[in-house]
Amino acid sequence: MIHRHNGQMASLFFQNRVCLAPNLRMYSMALKATIYKADLNIANMDEHIYADYQLTLALHPSETIERLMVRVLAYARFADERLEFTKDLFETDEPALWQKDLTGLLEKWIEVGCPAEDKVKKASARCKQVAVVAYGSQVDDWWKRNSKIKTLTNVEVWQLDDKTTCELEQLCERTMQLQLNILDGEWTLLSDKGQVDIKWQKLQ
């Protein structure tokens, strides 16, 4: 009786593991990304461009809120209905954002942070327009070390100052309502949580 009971318990345990395994795998996959949504309204009074964008961003487990918000700003600078967030940190061969034409060919390739020089060079050969939105304490050293980027005529490089990216984090929520005003070259990003004056420097 004891052996039969133990055998039945083992059988039930095995069956439960089989049934639970797919659910556990799905649960594990769901934990890989945290989804953020942003309604971004852009009022560019310098160029008389006014548009609304509904953005969905997947936060990688290793990604910081600072980087997430820099991706939002990168979108705002190059905003277009066909511009989209990629798999990004989930797929290291991809940029943070890209834009394709109606045939699927790449038009824009946008990196955030301090990407490897070789990656930027390869992107330059594939796309008409390549951009880097750099931020963080390592930007100055990165820019000095990667001098070949300066020879690529279809690559532009923008730097965000540390104060800007730090303040951006304070605006972040899982669901965001963001208003970007651009007037006389000055960028101001507003939400219910406050506002940030965006300080850009164009390195190239």
Q: Give mean pLDDT in consecutive 10-residue pieces for the chain, a chain of 204 residues.
A: 47 43 44 90 96 95 95 97 89 90 94 96 95 96 94 97 95 97 97 96 95
What per-residue confidence (pLDDT) applies to 88? 77
What pLDDT does 26 receive? 41
**Amino acid letter for position 26:** M
Q: Which two tokens stand for residue 200?
A: 């850009």
pLDDT of residue 31: 54
Structure confidence at residue 190 (pLDDT): 97
Q: Which of 165, 96, 162 is nearest to 131 (CA)?
A: 96
Cross-strand partners of 84: 98
Residues 6+ apart with CB under 8 A from 23: none
pLDDT of residue 1: 47
Q: How many CB atoms lie within 10 A of CB 189?
A: 24
Q: 61 — phi, psi (to 5°)?
A: -55, -30
